[in-house]
Chain A
Amino acid sequence: MAEYEAVIGLEVHVQLNTKSKLFCGCSTAFGAEANTQTCPVCLGLPGVLPVLNRAAFEKSVRAALALDCEIAPFTKFDRKNYYYPDLPKNYQISQYDLPLSRNGRLAFEVAGHEKSVRIRRAHLEEDAGKLLHEDPRGSGRSLVDLNRTGTPLLEIVTEPDLSSAEEAVAYLMALKQLLKYVDVSDCEMQEGSMRCEPNVSVRPKGAKELGVKTEIKNLNSFRNVAAAIEYEIERHIKLLEAGQRVRQETMLWDADRGATAPMRSKEEAQDYRYFPEPDLPPFTMTAEETGRLRATLPELPAARRARFETALGLDAYSAGVLTAERPVADWYESVLSAGAPAPEAAKWVINDCLREREDRKLDFADFPVKPAELAALIGLVEKKTINPTIARQKLLPAMFETKRGAAELVKELGLAQVTDAGAISAAVEAAIAKNPKALADYRGGKAEAVMFLVGQVMRETKGKANAGAVRELLEKRLAELK
């Protein structure tokens, strides 16, 4: 059996997070009642004129800059003509031969190595409406909701630079991270604000020429993207092995069956008859305007991650976790600004705060514990005012519950470490007196008896004693009793 390699390109649509639609003032809010967010412009009624949403254009340019694209000094919109009931104008306003950006790249890590994917183009277009093929009330007709019609989409097309499902998903995750960092989209596949259509082909390993490709639609999660690509690669290889040919067509993924099936192909080949949109004058971008938008970009995830490693001295894993989402990285850096040392703060954020977020379904943009208070907690541990176990198990949960300050809660809940030598000494004596068996064990040479007694003292002091000091004192006392 010959060896094959897969060649994959991705076409991704992300919904831009603007308040209003691309060419009219209708709201883009998700989840409204059907057909309550339409107007003559997005319904395509006669005599209306589209006017471009400035935020949508600027967000597109910012996304393109983050993807290292060249921004076109001159760009225009075109009509893509086709008939489908979710498209009331019978054409989609898109960009054809002069997209707003081209020739970018996105680098990311996959399976321990760096991969860079070329971006062919990123352009702006409007979304279509939503079609319900079956009327639940049984009219036998299809139902159309046009709320989504005219919502701004950024289409991002890669070159066929990917070679596995794993790489495709890693690219999507890196793209999602980047677009969320620059605040242009929520990128939620389940909600449809990020959609992905892979192109897949296979060829004998090392061959120059590309195989025949198929396009996959109907993917609503990263997991489905991976499963569908793997399925298509295998299907192509089987066909080639059997001496058959792959047909260039669009496949629909059926998640329930875990298989693709050809989309009913139309008798007529696609013929979109693109032509310049006469209702929208073209757009020019000067170097100054591009520079102004570039200046609004935040530090991008890859740069931030590298800085966390080099300037803050974090290990690669911690730097990756802390920069995965911008609000987490921002919050972490606020903890540092409040005076906490970087590695220590990293441990608290990763091990404790991120877990609390999961358990309590919290959002770092509005976190109940303020960064300065986590810094205060870390300071209290460093000064040995409280011991780390108490801080983790009692103080931090109390801070999440009450949203109050660390120092205040230590005082109120009596969590301060017992440093009074007399008190610790009394607890040590009590523990020895109450556990004659442990003393006997110790005398019999069982070293574990010490740890048992340390545990007893810690219980006696409700965990507030310093375990190191307790152990030292115990060992000294036991030696005397031996």
Chain B
Amino acid sequence: MALERKEVEHVALLARLELSEEELTRFHRQLDNILGYVEKLNEADTSGVEPLAHAAASGNVFREDEVKPSLERAEALAQAPDSDGWFFRVPRIIDMGGEL
């Protein structure tokens, strides 16, 4: 198989999926098949074809900069598994610093 098992494990970890050994084996095979199928596209002759950066045909869709009412806090918090009435509550994060 062209795809390595540890790549499947890596992708599963990034997607926060906990896979059993049996699932890993099965998804490894399936993913490898999918990639092999997509690989076929590389056989198409695309010389002289502009690379497509985006599948959407038309663009420049804007909204104006206007404030619209937000959700009531209670309603926003109700969508989450845990809150204290003011904040969403999540398991304690040790890794400081955020991403941005």
Contact = CB atoms under 8 A, between A and B. Distances in A.
Contacts of B77: 35
Interface residues of A, number: 70
A142 B97 contact: no
- For the residues of B in contact with A, the DSSP-based class is loop
Contact of B62 (A38, A51, A92, A273): A51
A113 interface: no
A143 B73 contact: no
A175 interface: no
B26 interface: no
B96 interface: yes
B40 interface: no
A361 interface: no
Contact of B99 (A20, A37, A84): A84
B80 to A, nearest CB: 9
Interface in A41-99: 43, 45, 51-57, 74, 76, 81-87, 92, 98
B63 A142 contact: no
B90 interface: yes
Interface residues of B, number: 44
A135 interface: yes
Given A53-B62, A81-B14, A142-B91, A13 B100 contact: yes
B14 A20 contact: no
A142 B93 contact: yes
Interface in B60-98: 60-71, 73, 76-77, 79, 82, 84, 86-98
The 6 closest A-B pairs by CB, nearest first: A25-B68, A55-B65, A143-B87, A281-B56, A54-B62, A144-B88
Given A143-B88, A281-B58, 7 more contacts: A25-B66, A25-B69, A39-B70, A39-B76, A43-B71, A55-B64, A85-B93
Interface of A: 13, 18-20, 24-27, 33-40, 43, 45, 51-57, 74, 76, 81-87, 92, 98, 127-128, 131-133, 135, 137, 139-146, 153, 195, 217-218, 250, 252, 263-264, 266, 268, 271, 273, 276, 278, 280-284
